[in-house]
Amino acid sequence: MKQNQYETVFTIPLLKFSVNFSAILTILFLLLTCLQVSAKPVQRITISKKNSPIVQIFEAIKQQSGYSVVYNSDDLKERNVSLNVKNSTVEETMKECLKDSAFAFKIVNKNILIKKKEGRSGPPPSTTKSRAKEIKGRVVDKQNISIPGVSIKLKGTSIGTVTNGEGLYAISIPDNTGTLVFSMVGYTTKEVTIGSDQTINVTLLEETSALNEVVVIGYGTQKKSDVTTAVSSVSAESIKERPALNFGEAIAGQMAGVQVQQTGGAPGGEGLAIRVRGVGSITQSNDPLYVVDGYPMEGNAFRLLNTSDIESIQVLKDASSTAIYGSRGANGVVIVTTKKGKVGPPTINANTFIGFQELGKEMEMMNRDQYVQWFIDGRNQAWLDAQVITSDPNQQPHSITDPNSRRSLYSGASTQYMIPDGTGGYKYNFMDPASVAQMPDNNWQDLLYRKALTQKSELSVSGGTEHTQYMFSGSYAKQEGIVLGTNYDRFNFRSAINSKVTKNLSLGMNMLAFSAKGREQESGKYSPVMFALQLPPIFPVRNDDGTYGSMVRNPEILAGDVASPIGVAEQVQNSRNRYGWLGTVFAEWEIIKDLKYKININGGIQDNQQKIFEASFIDFDASKGPRPAKGINQRASDYDWVIENTLNYSRTFSDKHVLSALVGYTTQKHNLKNMYGEARGFANDQITTLNAGTMYALSSDESEYSMISYLGRINYAYHNKYLFTATFRGDGSSRFGMNKKWGTFPSLSAGWKVSEEKFMENIKAISDLKIRAGFGISGNNRIGDYSAIGLLTSGFYPTGGTLQNTTNPSTMSNVDLGWEKTRQYNLGFELGLINDRIRIEGDFYDSQSIDLLLNVPVPVITGYSTQIQNIGKVQNRGMEFLVTTRNLLGDFKWNTNFNISFNKNKVLEVGADNRPIYGSAPNANNAFITTVGSPIASFYGYKYEGVFLTQDELNKYPHLSADKIGDGRYADINKDGILDQNDKTILGNNNPDFTTGLTNNFSYKNFSLGVQFTASYGAELFSFYKRMVGIYHGDRNGMIEQIGRWRSADEPGDGIHFKATRTPSGWQRDPSSAWVQDASYLRLRNVNFAYNFSEDFTQKIKVKALSVYVTGSNLFTITNYSGYDPETSSEGAGLTKGGDYLGYPTARTFILGLNLTF
């Protein structure tokens, strides 16, 4: 009967009911508090053993109760006992175990401390009766928090003791010589030589063995040594004390197979993309799934989390690990686990830093004198190339000495042929050096970019009892942008409460909330960043009337279409406010021994509001104010809930067979609402709300999808040597066609711990060796919510002198539209050498993404031109390696982490006829191609081969009809002797041959130093900005490389840059290999230097721990790329990945910080 009740509550209504998560969270929080006041959970133990080693009894107690038994092994290792208890408490079991013995016990938190009965109260006494010398002290961790249960022994003897609940100890030794050994499970053993001091305080560091590391996998955890799939991990230690505002920045370069690409450096750090093992989808999203404390979300995870709240980050990379997430796992899964409270008194941690950011690299542009000569050359060359018109009284060939009076007779003279001479309204004479010297010589980059303040403050409180643990944290980050007029502020709040309310019931709640606001700017071609490169240096920053100087505002200097980068940056109001929260409430019930049921109720809301106002007086590209002001308001609201029910079973049989099983049922519903409003014709520039103008456009839309899933996993280990994992998930989604609502995603993986075999016993150098292999299928459901449905659009038609509204079909339905799937094979190994001082991990994979969604042409008789279908296929093959070493131990420590990843992307199918798919960027039509045999979004255009330097060369090679000496030469790809569209070819792509990261960590006593390098080799960028600052000679400023241009037969230049002309012909403005650049780089990404104050000092100022640190990020980059950042792809991802119109540059950052623990 109870089973049916639960089915009614948790299954049937899930697809229909509406959830008030705020009320649920409030009620459960109060419930947790009330239950904690009244509950007194008791651990029950059942053991029946005859004449068994006492250490086996202790292990059984630990397995059933979770309590660790701490003892001196020399005292108890030979002791056997018989024990028969049933449903006894921990205390009753220990009394029975130690009865009639010389030992007593004490329970401190989750530790059972065993000591000999003789002695005295206070700190635990030593096990020897000698009173020659007593040494006292305290043992703490690196946060200066006491560690109970630490074993302290006099080396080479049986004399020993353990620390009490406050971490205090006292031990008597026979004389003043010897060595004390401090040891504790989970911590590195430390030896201290006894001297004249009677007080020895010790700090133990957590054990860093990779074998003991617990990693978070889908719907559970596993010891690293038992994992059979490809999982990369980053700990809190690896991302602390960095100026990153999101965890994506912090993990860059630290994981093999995980590429973090910076797509923009705007404040807030959200301009980045994470790619796991390449790009698998042609037209849909390639973003991974993010899982935060068990809550799966498809994006927007960066701003939800403060990096200091993160305990660990795991990335599931192969399909055998991601298949448990089914239709959302094809692009990898990023699992983020936040910090939780621990048993102990309240611990308050405060962290704050302040620093500044600056432009990492300035692009080399022409100065005033170089620009003026370029301008003159461009106008003169255009004049020389122009045909003499019949209305010109002078029928002689054109000469560069011809005055403006002759040039002005020709069409387009003011923008193509005439050179300002100080007359006819021109302010300066470009031909007179004295007049040129009076012009401004502004470096617009110096004026647009600034040193920007960055700061962040964090505060957390954590602690708890044996039954309830808590953690609350808050942070505030404030960044000025390095570009004028940009900034970012963000508040984050987090709470986590876990409570064991009865013996077999636990409840918990996690909540994340944020509020962010900032001022942004246009990115790409029409941004202040681009204007700062295009605007010639000869214009004033401001005119006498207060307006901003530019080609648009100052035609008396030189007319053109480039506005002031300073004016646009400072005057356009572009603000964005975001807020949101994410909540998780869970309950875990141990139904019977080894069988647990868990329910997670997750909900989240995120809201994104943007307001843009362009005042009437602002000058824009090719447009001078005043003009009608324009205002835009847009808003996107995202609502999501997920309910997950799982059953976990885990048991060990005959000490050889370890079995764990998971089954689950989940439901999810997601709703997105958008609103867009635009008004123009405002009465004034002071009132900026849309109702102050005339509505120009108003629209709104709403979409939603739902999904239900069944999942399961079985883990089996035999003799701790042979490991097997099988998973299965079935997803049903509203996004797909009626015939393909359900998808199934299985996986299978296995591991062999070779080092556990007997034949490895004598190979001492190898401390660990595991081989693993896996196969799995995962999916990608990132498509439109209604892509499978035939949609309608509104329209009208005239009748009887009026317009009638209509509803018209707009897209063709597809009842067979299904998932994109990824099938992946993975083979890996893990090798530990010299007691794991050297660890090497490697993975080799072959991944095929199939049934990719593409728009396919359909017969015109259907009434449509295309239909979205599952028809594409892409392959990613690669290998990745991770090497970690502990190079030096002792007082001076040196650890190294090195990773390197190789990936090859290739398109296998793009439709029934394999017709290529093209992508375009502004002023670069069909600059990308996705075709069989090449990577997705390969660069496409003409192959540039340099400059025609002589007439013989011009006559020898195929060329365009208008080409002359000094023009660019292009390859005749198809060898037909004619240059035309058929000579376009693939020019490169944005996929690196390999990416790598190298981190070295050094420490000596209280000092620590971390240095991280990252590198990428083989990627290329399509530098579209070169079209704007390399072709329009004289109309806009140019890159310094243009001084190597062809000027005459006597000054042929570098043979790469063609002549300057205001009337460029041929393919100079078309995408070609002249714009493709090597984007390989080596970057010093992060340097951190810290000092931890000694315990003596912290005790004096009554704090637990204190450290100060200095960090620098993006300190330098070695690259041949001429743009701001070789990592940037301002044109984004998908079919235009790798195009660069110069997005917001990445900043170099320096901070000074302080970390304080009370």
Residue ranges and CATH numbers for the domains of the chain are 43-117 (3.55.50.30)
Residue partners of 116: CB distance under 8 A and separation at least 6: 75, 102, 103, 104, 127
Task: State the pLDDT at residue 241.
Answer: 73
Neighbours of 87 (CB within 10 A): 9
Task: State the pLDDT at residue 197.
Answer: 82
Quick check: 1122 and 1039 in contact, CB under 8 A? yes
Give the side-chain half-sphere CA count within 13 A for 493. 8
Task: State the pLDDT at residue 207.
Answer: 67
Buried b or exposed e, range 307-342, using 16+ CB within 10 angstroms? bbbbebbbbbbbbbbbbbbbbbbbbbbbbbbbbbbe
Distance between CA atoms of 96 and 82, rounded to whole angstroms?
Answer: 9
Q: Which amino acid is located at 514 in the chain?
A: F
What token pair was written down for 300? 């927007």
Nearest to 540 by CA among 441, 415, 405: 441
Buried b or exposed e, range 99-118, using 16+ CB within 10 angstroms? eeeebebbebebbbbbbbee
Residue partners of 1100: CB distance under 8 A and separation at least 6: none
Residue partners of 556: CB distance under 8 A and separation at least 6: 425, 426, 427
Distance between CA atoms of 486 and 570, rounded to whole angstroms?
Answer: 9
Collapse the DSSP code of 21 into the 3-class scheme (helix H, G, I; strand E, B; otherwise coil) and give the result.
Answer: helix
Q: Which amino acid is located at 529 in the chain?
A: V
Distance between CA atoms of 864 and 790, rounded to whole angstroms?
Answer: 11
pTM for the full model?
A: 0.83
Quick check: 631 and 653 in contact, CB under 8 A? no
Nearest to 746 by CA among 729, 725, 724, 723: 729
* Mean pLDDT per 10-residue segment, the chain (1158 residues): 32 34 41 40 73 80 77 66 83 84 76 67 42 81 78 84 84 83 81 86 74 82 91 88 82 92 84 89 91 86 86 94 95 94 89 96 96 96 95 96 96 94 95 97 98 96 91 96 96 95 94 95 89 96 96 95 96 96 95 95 95 95 91 96 96 91 97 96 94 94 95 95 96 94 96 94 92 96 90 83 85 92 96 93 97 86 86 96 93 95 96 87 91 96 96 94 94 96 96 96 94 96 90 85 94 94 90 96 96 90 93 95 85 81 91 94
Q: Which amino acid is located at 209 in the chain?
A: S
What token pair was written down for 154? 């006099």
Give the C-alpha distances (Å, rounded to integers) separating 989 from 909, 936, 1135, 1137: 18, 8, 11, 8
Neighbours of 800 (CB within 10 A): 6
Cross-strand partners of 584: 510, 602
Task: Give the max Cα distance, the chain.
Answer: 127
Task: State the pLDDT at residue 9.
Answer: 29
Neighbours of 273 (CB within 10 A): 18
Q: What is the DSSP letter of 481?
A: -
How many helices (H) does the chain have, and how many strands (E)? Answer: 18, 54
* Radius of gyration of the chain from its Cα atoms, rounded to whole angstroms: 35
* DSSP 3-state percent helix, strand, coil across the chain (nearest 5): 15, 45, 40
Q: Residue 656 burial by CB count (10 A; 0-12/13-18/19+): exposed, middle or buried?
A: exposed
Neighbours of 558 (CB within 10 A): 23
Q: Residue 1035 burial by CB count (10 A; 0-12/13-18/19+): exposed, middle or buried?
A: buried
C-alpha angle 1120/1123/1124, rounded to 5°? 110
Q: What is the DSSP letter of 623?
A: B
Laid out side by side, the sheet with 111-116 consists of: 68-70, 111-116, 103-108
Distance between CA atoms of 196 and 201, rounded to whole angstroms?
Answer: 14
Residue partners of 495: CB distance under 8 A and separation at least 6: 470, 471, 472, 473, 509, 510, 511
Residue partners of 818: CB distance under 8 A and separation at least 6: 736, 737, 740, 743, 851, 870
Distance between CA atoms of 937 and 946, rounded to whole angstroms?
Answer: 25
Collapse the DSSP code of 7 into the 3-class scheme (helix H, G, I; strand E, B; otherwise coil) and give the result.
Answer: helix
What token pair was written down for 877? 């093959």
Kindly write down the DSSP assignment for every residue of 263-292, as one continuous string: S---TTS--EEEEESS---SSS--PPEEEE
Quick check: 315 and 252 in contact, CB under 8 A? no
Nearest to 1035 by CA among 568, 446, 382: 382
Q: Which amino acid is located at 180 in the chain?
A: L
Quick check: 157 and 127 in contact, CB under 8 A? no
